[in-house]
Structure 1
């Protein structure tokens, strides 16, 4: 029995190292004094963080990613909340087919979605790049918002809503005054998950960006094609730390893990 326990502990440690190891390497190389990104790092410096924050294209593409993420996430929520509500509250024959249809952007590989959207938005409709990028991100975020909000609605008793209706409130009023306030934690969880997914997206953004319009992950890829210094490690460390702070803060305040 003890031997089995040791094997389980060893396997757990190996899995942990496999999953966390790359992030630790990125974090350590961000402070290295080496001129190229290699492990183990040498020395200690903050110069790579200063350089990462001083590059104008990183700052510009950060705001493109941020604004696109906010706009696409908000749109995906506006569309996803009523869809999730209808799917949970009502029964109809085509429900399994509709569920599959709404989940398809999360099932189909991102490269295929990006290529399909490129053909439609750019080649067929001649749409501006920034609009195509926004619509593409909205499409891939939609199933995430539907799933998270649906999970929140399943935890919310329909009896509370029915009580409001029986007291004279319309379905429309009860939805906004009773349902939404009681699933706000799920809405926040959906917003955070969708925004992080949008901000870090590469496959779809790779096809939908173009001259003068790029997201931060795409700009980081372009930079690495020309340079291999720890600048990208420093920038990645900043993004990881910000993401962890946002997720952990939301978890402490709202307990979002039960919805995702």
Structure 2
């Protein structure tokens, strides 16, 4: 489906892409006063491939496959253009994808230089108890991979998706030198310096059964949602908007 050929949406309508059971669908959402939004499926976007993860940056979608650990696809859904990124290394023990992914860019004034980050923040061999770390970045301009020399003082869970804001990516994270894996911080990867910034403490304490979710608001702020799951049914306990200072969040620390 070529999204660029669709008719313009009317006032009160918007288009969104949703992932449902390894497939991407184009959805039209219509807001109605004092009623629930009306959602209409306009069509399936992918064909035979099963997609396990999707990440958005600047109108582009990074698609990670469920049954193919050798490559990923960057897709422009408006122009229906794709670019295949072949990996140098694959690692899916017990068929579990241990990598984290991010798509970002370096702003060069008149143009943007896109880059793709792929890393394993923590992977422990259950037999040898050895810890395995891997950080690499792909430059779209040169079509080359580069390994990054990073010693993390943070921990990012592999199932925790990052959020793109103004070319950089943010994750919920925790301190590495503790036994508790609690996402009570956020951390930023700066695609210009190709480095992680400092850990920034969130103004709440998340428990072992809680979930911290980040989202982007109008390409200006990060929204942080704490979902509390202590007593059974999930309850939304805390919502927060953060206007982040770029230098403070993305100053090099790795």
Higher strand share: 2
TM over 0.5: no
The TM-score, its normalising length taken from structure 1, stands at: 0.19
Larger Rg, first or second structure (1 or 2): 1
The TM-score, its normalising length taken from structure 2, stands at: 0.20
Give the number of the structure with larger relative contact order, counting CA–CA contacts within 8 Å between residues 6 or more apart.
Answer: 1
Higher helix share: 1
